[in-house]
Amino acid sequence: MRLGVLDVGSNTVHLLVVDAHPGARPLPAHSHKAELRLAELIDEDGAVSDAGIDRLVSVIHDALRAAEDKGVEEVLPFATSAVREASNADALIARVQRETGVALPVLTGVEEARLTFLATRRWFGWSAGKLLVLDIGGGSLEIALGLDEEPDAAASLPLGAGRLTTGWLPADPPDPADVRILRRHVRTEIARTVGDFARLGTPDRAVATSKTFKQLARIAGAARSADGLYVQRTLGLKSLTEWVPRLAAMTAGRRAELPGVSEGRARQLLAGALVAEAAMDLFGLEEVDLCPWALREGVILRRLDHLPV
């Protein structure tokens, strides 16, 4: 069957269309993406502005048309931290349903971590042993650890690259004092969770997902996305630590000229790098493997698990 997963995230609204059936690997058929930056459309009261909701409704309409054009049988929508934390989330969700027909479930941060972990486990398989999975989104950082398809521990922290850039790094290039303050904040937040995971033992494999980690790996020398899904890609802590001060000295325009860095995410890359470096350092990871599957694939796999074989 042809499924479409509609991801209303902090940075983008992304429709991923796949051909899938139980027991088989979902095959990507189409991708429709719009950069909405919902997290940046929140006013001082924590509400998504009327203009922001207007744009969201319009983008969802476009995604639904794309899904219809591609013959999608079922659309699986969900929203993440930007909607989850908006003070007018209920009104936003109601309006989206009224004007588009889409009932928009809002995932908790822990649900995001668990679904991303499921996708990563399916990608690497049981032979990977105990997995530690890190995912940096626009609004939050997800962490999960475990031996099975359900993690033994999962956490979500408000350390997304978009959120931190908007709240902590207003200048371009950033003020060095702001970078130091943000670095301290990020490390304090992550350090509070390390003990909860350390009690479960050392992971056999550390894995990272998300656009932020992929871009950091690419500028550190990993293979291009054009080289295919099955090329092994890694990110080393040493290389990342060398890149952080370089990114801090660059404007967003200069970062956008780096290999694999999109113009739309260039401004967020430094905050993402600070989170990635802190997580790897505090969890004692010299290197992480990049996984091409993440939350969207986890949603698809969970849906397939509930279909009759």
**Per residue in 130-187, pLDDT tens?**
999 999 999 999 999 999 999 999 999 999 999 999 999 999 999 999 999 999 999 9
Asked if residue 98 is part of any domain, the answer here is yes
* Of 106, 124, 139, the domain-final residue: 106
150 and 237: one domain?
Answer: yes
Q: Are residues 69 and 119 in the same domain?
A: no
pTM of the model: 0.95
Peptide bond into 173 cis (omega under 30): yes
Q: Is residue 161 located within the same domain as residue 52?
A: no
Q: What is the pLDDT of residue 39?
A: 78
Output the average pLDDT for the chain.
95
What mean pLDDT comes out for the span 107-125? 97
Give the C-alpha distances (Å, rounded to integers) separating 203 from 140, 147, 288: 22, 9, 11
Domain stops at, among 63, 85, 106: 106
Q: Are 279 and 141 in contact (CB under 8 A)?
A: yes
Range of the domain at 88: 2-106
CB burial string 255-267: b at 16+ within 10 A, e below: bbebebbeeebbb
Check residue 280 and give its pLDDT.
98
Whichever domain contains 10, its CATH number is: 3.30.420.40
The residues, any chain, with a CB within 8 Å of residue 210's CB and separated by 6 or more, are 135, 136, 137, 294
- Give the pLDDT band (50/70/90) at residue 309: low
pLDDT at 308 over 80: no
Please indicate, yes or no, whether residues 152 and 249 belong to a single structural domain of this protein.
yes
Question: Judging by beta carbons within 10 Å of its beta carbon (0-12, 13-18, 19+), is residue 69 exposed, middle or buried?
Answer: exposed
Q: How many domains does the chain have?
A: 2
Whether 180 is covered by a domain: the verdict is yes
Q: Which of 15, 57, 53, 54 minimizes the C-alpha distance to 34?
A: 15
**Domain-ending residue, one of 52, 74, 106:** 106
Mean of pLDDT values over 207-216:
96
Please tell me whether residues 32 and 93 are part of one structural domain. Answer: yes
Confidence of residue 206 (pLDDT cuts 50, 70, 90): very high
- Condensed to tens digits (0 to 9), the pLDDT of residues 8-43 reads 998 899 999 999 988 889 999 999 999 888 877 888
| Same domain, yes or no: 120 and 67 | no
Do 273 and 158 belong to one domain?
yes
Residues 126 and 274 in one domain: yes
For the chain, the residue count is: 309
